[in-house]
Structure 1
Amino acid sequence: MSKPKGRYPKQKGVAADPSCFINRELSWVAFNERVLHQALDRSWPLLERVKFLSIFYNNLDEFFMIRVSGLLRQLREGFVDLPPDRMTPTEQLIALRERIALSLERAQRCFQQDLLPELQREGITLVTPDSMSDKHRGYLRRFFELEVFPILTPLAFDAGHPFPHISNLSLNLAIILKDQKKGERFARLKVPDTFPRLIPVPADRDKILRKMGIPGDGRCFMWFEDLIRMNLDSLFPGYRVEDSYLFRITRDADIEIEEDEADDLLESIQEEVDRREFGSVVRLEVEDRTPKRIRNILAENLEISPHQVYAMSPPLGLSCLSELCRVRRPDLKDRPFQPFVPKDLSQGTDIFRTVRSRDVLLFHPYDSFSPLVEFLRQASQDPSVLAIKQTLYRVGPKSPIVEALLEARQQDKQVSVLVELKARFDEENNIEWAKRLESAGVHVVYGVPGLKTHAKICLVVRREKGGIVRYVHMGTGNYNAATASIYSDLGLITCDPEIGADASEFFNLLTGYSKQDSFRKLIAAPAAMRRRIMEMIAREVENHRRGLGGAMIIKVNALVDRECIEALYAASAQGVPVFLIVRGICCLKPRLEGLSRRIWVTSIVGRFLEHSRVFAFYNGGNPEIYLGSADLMPRNLDRRVEIMFPLEDRKLKEAVIRYLLLPQMLDDRRSFRLNPDGTYTPPSGGFDSQEWLLSVRGAWH
């Protein structure tokens, strides 16, 4: 790989030395290694470990589709702006391949040598063709002929047949055939995704188990590609099938829209989503026994370099392991729990009355998502409600939130919704919801040109005896009932008049023409968030200098922004203690003498995905806490519409500190500690902050 030409800007600031920063991409790989650590951790129930391994592989697919593809694009275009660590795209790609290869080796050993034997001991078995009786072979042959054969399309590759298009993330077989007269032939067969990847082996499955020395009452599966391989002869009559080799490709899936040139943004996004299947190839995964000549045929026709080829032991594409988690074995899964519902927020209560009496702070998933759904349902049915305005980023395929908005429109209320069409990998869901909302008469807008709207806010305008009252919900997570059960997020419902006024003006900014860049209580990006965060950090430094005490706790998904990192370095250098809870990417190096000795960084990877963003400042003894949707990344601060909102009620501030921030700082069961050299020390203690929260859920209300 050649070094790209381009701009290499001079760096300024207290941490101009590139060694003071961790590379963003390598930091992400370290995060995914922490996910893999959970799959290796025997303290988790078995099927939860399988789930973590599935997440590891799914994360890796997305990383190649978006981040690795971006580095390769920089190489092709020959123009880059170097990151603070100064690694070129070539250097990053080399380092990534080496690091990812090691992770994949660990992941494959975890699956083959650890999880598979454990599953087998529990009666959950992945059978192979060699282990089956003739009776089962006959059954599967009939199933193949009736259900599978009709949808398979073998494609020849020779002088008269061009190399076929290979779709993104599809599983394929490269098949070698022999003809007595014409010699060797090459064909490609796509493994269709119309069936589960793991096919249940039905009748008399216990006989298979007994043959393998496993007790009955289990579940048997076989890989779908093995079923196809068992029957390849029926697809090529007159030819002898010499062998077949699995392969899989990953394509560039990053959507780029020139909004100023798009006459119809919805149509343009749909076109780009469809075009994902034709993005340039980023990675080729091949079965490790694939001959070099077959690898070369594939690489040459896919137009990729040798460093983009990954030889792996089968099976490939193990994100499909999530299918095993559907097995009804509650003894092999996390113990279920019932989310807490405060009595004054339960179904049938007057939620508007509750919010008039107090601000409501919900800790998901420990608190149920249902009060928020009930809030919108009541708003949709309440004759006193005049209008509802809401942003939607990731709502999922089945959304009670959207259903409530549609019902509100049926009740002749004014409903305005900003649907962010550029929510990565949720574009198609959001397009469908946008169309459905528009057809129902909802005012649908697609955001501010050139910016992605990531803010989570809902405004309900209600006529009451004293006049108009505005009820506002703001959150750190999406309006998605499914993810609310597995993501750790915070949401606030308030009727504070100033926040209500801010919310109205914020929606005017989104739906109309407005250059407003400041609000009474809300802090919005890209106009003011970066500046306000810098000011709050600087205030802690000044308070510390004056002897008033200075400290901060920041909880985010990612810390990448160089200006923010330098501000935190400067605070630490002045003696201000800084506690960072960063789940994913962290480009800051803690505990460096003279630079970050007063900074501690932890990453929690547990049962729930830590997703909330919290900014807590000591503020001279009067703690100031903001919640929001933004991470400390350039894209959030400069290229997205985001909001941070204050917690002003003393009890709510105490609840966030007592039940969220302090327990996570003390966590030594699921919390990894970031070291000065960029490595993470795995947990070795016994206090799991998430499990503790489950045991005390509802205590903060």
Structure 2
Amino acid sequence: MNPETAKPATAAEHFFDRELSWLEFNDRVLQEALDARTPLVERLKFVAIFSSNLDEFFMVRISGLIERERAGAAGSAPAGMAPSQQLDAIRTHLARQTALQHRLFDGELRELMKQHGILLLDYAALDEPQRGALEAHFSGQVFPVLTPLSVDAGHPFPQMSNLSLNLAVIVEDPVNGLRKFARIKVPDTLPRFVALPQGPDQAGWTGVPLEQLIAGNLARLFPGMIVRGHHMFRITRDADFTVREDEAEDLMLAIEEEVGKRHLDGFVCRLEIERSMPAELRESLMEELEVSSRDVYEFDGLLNLRDLFYFLSLPLPELKDMPWTPVVPAPFQAAPDESGEPRATLFDAIKRGDVLVHHPYHSFAATVQEFITQAAHDPQVLAIKLTLYRTSGDSPIVRALIAAAAARKQVVALIELKARFDEENNIAWANRLEDAGAHVVYGVVGLKTHTKIALVVRKEEEALRRYVHVGTGNYNPKTANLYTDLGLLSCRDDLVADVGDLFNYLTGYSRQDAYRKLLVAPLTLRRRMYELITREMEHARSGAGGHIVAKMNALVDPEMIRHLYEASRAGVRIELVVRGICCLRPGVPGLSENIRVISVVGRYLEHSRIFRFKNGGADEYYIGSADWMTRNLDHRVEAVTPVEDAAAVHHLEQVLAFLLNDNRHAWDLQSDGRYLQRQPAEGEPERAAQALLMEGARLGEF
């Protein structure tokens, strides 16, 4: 097909449905659990991640589709599926994949656990000494916490919290023969798996699920009654909410009120039950919880497999990935002076040139966290400004900001109160920072502040010098050990001026719409990305060879996808590394035959964003916080920075090369929407990008 006369990319069949693409991503997560090459405890972890991901998917995406269906909404662009069609397709997909997940756990992983001394037993199979030990534990540690709630004329159907695991108990009054329903919540304040006492010569772990321990002692909870049956069920509620910022007198108070409703007030969008549950009880629950049969999922075995995270805490190194200790990058490895103390600060290193850090291969604690900590305690530092989207509950970075405020430094913290599922944590930190004297702001009305930027102002030799960090990931030391993220530390005049202008836009009244280096959403990022793609098209048409490599978490925005299709038709070679959702359909003749898409799902969550444009041989690299999603390009504040330092550029070249050539954790997206996992050919060495990057960091190659 002549690319100049090819049909414009407007048809629905040129795009994959966003929700179904996300399901494909979660299937790739499950495949890590299915893969026998993955260590056993890590396989349990991926089973748990699969379930945890599904919980959030139902709370946010499925609940939204149900609301749109109830409102009679039409199909959404660009794929064009109506909400009812999406929900039916999702139900069909999940019925198959969740059944596969449970077969994997019950039919393979529990047996492998047993072979390695991890005995997750059924309560009914315990011998008398084991039962005696657990009954004592039940009496002292579990029974006092339980609250059976009956349902009858005097006791309405109980309010049930989101993601709660429950026992539906049928009890019979021996006097009049009447049967009643009672509900017992499995306390989420107690460990889901109860360990049996181990003798001095025993190794491994032996225990039972908490709900089975409760079920085995129901007679204690209903004395004088006959327990006729018990069945597990679990509910998921809508947990998304919208705050009208322009109408809220106090944004923090408005969000606190909405978050408080999330736990109990959202409608039930999923009911998970044991397959053995009688039809009458099932129908009663469906009626009381107002769910349709499409929203009911039946399982054999344990419900809520996300609790398998528990087994990661066991001291079983031989069943886990090899431990990794992040390294300190060479520019920050200061030579000690005669007293043995380091003579240089991070600021000294940054003055010598830009420093690219790559977590978890590089230590977050010794780089980004140390950057903020040194600034907090350096008497020459006058001001610190930082954006916080998500951080840990015991954040050392926020503690450093509090210390800086206490030392009378000018501290500005832009805290995004609307970061979904982190609202309460962020509100708590905002209150603590304000109490310490920091200036706390909440960003621009109508936009989420998703950018990851920090700015430090330091007095040096009678002048002020500014230092910045622009990153792809949150200021969170915990996720820095689990997610791959990049950050650029710099004191270049043009970049620090841009970051300063961006903070002024975020904290004050500013209509800043031009930046020297930074690409900022929603102001300049989309337009500049279009320009860079168009430039590659011009190079391709002139014979210089257009080439784009882009790495991101998700590719959804239809206009960006259309620009990529246009570039493909113009002869630009496009290689995309998209971890999760990808609505672009690659490899379609006359549309996208020059585009290939891979996804890498491995030990670490691929979270960094990298954009490379060949530019006729004068390659340009960018990193930043934005995916190519409409929300990132138009409805969030994002920052993307060019990377120009030669060593940093070389590192990004290596990262992209390793990912594109991965044959262990990489999946190729087909034009029909299927993902095919790469496998080493016979005699070919295994090339796992993340393992190669760990080795490169260990050897000091970057």
Give the alignment's TM-score, normalised by structure 2.
Answer: 0.95
**SS at the partner of 1:398?**
coil
Q: Distance in 2 between matches of 1:402 and 1:119?
A: 40
Matched AA of 2:540: H
Q: How has the CA–CA distance of structure 1 residues 205 and 62 changed in structure 2, closer, same or farther, with 3 Å as cutoff?
A: farther
**SS at the partner of 1:567?**
helix
Farther off after superposition, 610-619 or 399-408: 399-408
Offset at residue 651 of structure 1 (A): 2.6
What residue is the counterpart of 2:338 in the other structure?
none
What residue is the counterpart of 2:155 in the other structure?
161
Offset at residue 86 of structure 1 (A): 0.6
Matched, 1:327 2:314: yes
Matched, 1:584 2:580: yes
Q: Distance in 2 between matches of 1:378 and 1:515?
A: 33
CA deviation vs aligned residue, 1:339-388 (integer Å, no higher than 9, x gap): 11035424843111110001000011111102211111111111211100
CA deviation vs aligned residue, 1:608-648 (integer Å, no higher than 9, x gap): 11000011000111111110101110110111000110101
Offset at residue 17 of structure 1 (A): 1.4
What residue is the counterpart of 1:262 in the other structure?
248
Q: Distance in 2 between matches of 1:465 and 1:282?
A: 62
**SS at the partner of 1:71?**
helix
The one of 11, 31, 54 aligned to 1:17: 11
How is 1:621-636 mapped onto 2 (pairs within 5 angstroms)? 621-636=617-632
What residue is the counterpart of 1:683 in the other structure?
678
Offset at residue 205 of structure 1 (A): 9.7
What residue is the counterpart of 1:362 in the other structure?
357
The one of 659, 671, 676 aligned to 1:664: 659
Farther off after superposition, 179-188 or 602-611: 179-188
Offset at residue 136 of structure 1 (A): 2.1
CA deviation vs aligned residue, 1:416-440 (integer Å, no higher than 9, x gap): 0000111111111111111100100
CA deviation vs aligned residue, 1:525-579 (integer Å, no higher than 9, x gap): 0111111111110110011111222100000000000001111111111111000
Offset at residue 217 of structure 1 (A): 1.7
Q: Distance in 1 between matches of 2:271 and 2:536?
A: 50
What residue is the counterpart of 1:302 in the other structure?
289
Matched AA of 1:655: H
**SS at the partner of 1:368?**
coil
What residue is the counterpart of 1:8 in the other structure?
none
CA deviation vs aligned residue, 1:260-286 (integer Å, no higher than 9, x gap): 111111111111111102101100000
Q: Distance in 1 between matches of 2:499 and 2:7?
A: 36
Q: Distance in 2 between matches of 1:142 and 1:46?
A: 32
Matched, 1:285 2:279: no
Offset at residue 700 of structure 1 (A): 4.6
Offset at residue 255 of structure 1 (A): 2.1
The one of 230, 234, 243 aligned to 2:216: 230
How is 1:68-107 mapped onto 2 (pairs within 5 angstroms)? 68-80=62-74, 82-107=76-101
What residue is the counterpart of 1:5 in the other structure?
none
Q: Distance in 2 between matches of 1:110 and 1:136?
A: 27
How is 1:484-523 mapped onto 2 (pairs within 5 angstroms)? 484-523=480-519
Q: Distance in 2 between matches of 1:260 and 1:700?
A: 51
What residue is the counterpart of 2:438 in the other structure?
442
Q: Distance in 2 between matches of 1:654 and 1:137?
A: 61
Matched AA of 1:441: G
CA deviation vs aligned residue, 1:562-600 (integer Å, no higher than 9, x gap): 001111111111111000000000001111111110001
What residue is the counterpart of 1:423 in the other structure?
419
Q: Distance in 1 between matches of 2:200 and 2:270?
A: 38
**SS at the partner of 2:582?**
coil
- Contact persistence 2:393–2:425 (CA under 8 A): yes
**SS at the partner of 2:257?**
helix
The one of 365, 368, 393 aligned to 1:372: 368
Matched, 1:553 2:549: yes
**SS at the partner of 1:668?**
coil
Offset at residue 140 of structure 1 (A): 1.6
Q: Distance in 2 between matches of 1:146 and 1:339?
A: 43
Matched, 1:386 2:373: no
Offset at residue 130 of structure 1 (A): 2.6
Q: Distance in 1 between matches of 2:432 and 2:7?
A: 50
- Contact persistence 1:198–1:223 (CA under 8 A): yes
Q: How has the CA–CA distance of structure 1 residues 662 and 204 changed in structure 2, closer, same or farther, with 3 Å as cutoff?
A: same
What residue is the counterpart of 1:210 in the other structure?
none
CA deviation vs aligned residue, 1:239-264 (integer Å, no higher than 9, x gap): 10001000000000012111011111
- Contact persistence 1:344–1:350 (CA under 8 A): no
**SS at the partner of 2:466?**
strand
Matched AA of 2:288: N
- Contact persistence 2:448–2:636 (CA under 8 A): yes
Matched AA of 2:697: R
The one of 311, 328, 348 aligned to 1:353: 348
Offset at residue 162 of structure 1 (A): 0.7
What residue is the counterpart of 2:695 in the other structure?
695
What residue is the counterpart of 1:32 in the other structure?
26
Q: Distance in 1 between matches of 2:192 and 2:631?
A: 36
- Contact persistence 1:555–1:582 (CA under 8 A): yes
Q: Distance in 1 between matches of 2:86 and 2:678?
A: 28
Q: Which runs of 5+ in 2 are unaligned?
A: 1-5, 335-341, 681-685
Matched AA of 2:195: P
What residue is the counterpart of 2:404 in the other structure?
408
Q: Distance in 2 between matches of 1:48 and 1:395?
A: 24
Q: Distance in 1 between matches of 2:398 and 2:99?
A: 43
Q: Which runs of 5+ in 1 are unaligned?
A: 1-11, 207-215
Matched, 1:539 2:526: no
Offset at residue 149 of structure 1 (A): 1.3
Over 6 Å off, 4+ runs: none
- Contact persistence 2:329–2:357 (CA under 8 A): no
- Contact persistence 1:13–1:566 (CA under 8 A): no
Q: How has the CA–CA distance of structure 1 residues 266 and 80 changed in structure 2, closer, same or farther, with 3 Å as cutoff?
A: farther
CA RMSD of aligned residues (A): 1.4
CA deviation vs aligned residue, 1:285-344 (integer Å, no higher than 9, x gap): 001100111110000000111111111112101100000111101000011122110354
- Contact persistence 1:364–1:487 (CA under 8 A): yes
- Contact persistence 1:282–1:304 (CA under 8 A): yes
Matched AA of 2:225: Y
- Percent same amino acid among aligned pairs? 49
**SS at the partner of 1:473?**
strand
What residue is the counterpart of 2:43 in the other structure?
49
Q: Distance in 1 between matches of 2:74 and 2:473?
A: 33
Q: Distance in 2 between matches of 1:185 and 1:533?
A: 63
The one of 288, 297, 301 aligned to 1:314: 301
CA deviation vs aligned residue, 1:52-85 (integer Å, no higher than 9, x gap): 1100000000000000001011122233561211
- Contact persistence 1:472–1:503 (CA under 8 A): yes
The one of 112, 129, 134 aligned to 2:123: 129
Offset at residue 142 of structure 1 (A): 2.0
Offset at residue 108 of structure 1 (A): 0.6
**SS at the partner of 2:445?**
coil
CA deviation vs aligned residue, 1:679-699 (integer Å, no higher than 9, x gap): 000121221011011111164
**SS at the partner of 2:480?**
helix
Q: Distance in 1 between matches of 2:311 and 2:45?
A: 8
What residue is the counterpart of 1:183 in the other structure?
178
Matched AA of 2:152: D
The one of 125, 131, 137 aligned to 1:143: 137
- Contact persistence 2:75–2:81 (CA under 8 A): no
The one of 41, 46, 53 aligned to 1:59: 53
Matched, 1:252 2:238: yes
The one of 475, 481, 486 aligned to 1:479: 475
- Contact persistence 1:550–1:576 (CA under 8 A): yes
Matched, 1:221 2:217: no
Q: Distance in 2 between matches of 1:148 and 1:663?
A: 50
- Contact persistence 1:169–1:250 (CA under 8 A): yes
